[in-house]
Amino acid sequence: DADVTQTPRNRITKTGKRIMLECSQTKGHDRMYWYRQDPGLGLRLIYYSFDVKDINKGEISDGYSVSRQAQAKFSLSLESAIPNQTALYFCATSGNSYEQYFGPGTRLTVT
């Protein structure tokens, strides 16, 4: 079984809808991250969490919110989706090093 899982894998939604992307991990890591990937822009950090009580904004947090429900679960929400949030979203985890482990990604399309 995969160490980092993301649901859903693909989602099409309409402008203005609220949507939640979920991430779960079995690696026992404290640190979790949400990124978005756009062609030619690499990975941009949306939010990160170092434990259940520690949530931090990344470089592009506007329009997004997160919830760390447990050590193993970190959810990303788009409160009111807009077309320029169409992207590939990745969850990642890390332990006591800088190496990060990625989920398979969620492809989100906002129409």
Q: Which stretch binds another protein (CB under 8 A): 19-27, 39-47, 62-70, 77-85?
A: 39-47
Q: Is 43 in the site for another protein (CB under 8 A)?
A: yes
- CB-wise, 62 or 98, nearer to another protein? 98
Tell which residue, 68, 71, 74, has the closest CA to residue 92.
74
- Separation of alpha carbons 67 and 46, rounded Å: 13
Task: List 108's β-bridge partners, or say none.
Answer: 11, 87
- Judged by CB under 8 A, the residue of 1, 40, 53, 70 near another protein is 40
Q: Compute the chain's Rg from CA coordinates.
A: 13
- CB-wise, 16 or 95, nearer to another protein? 95
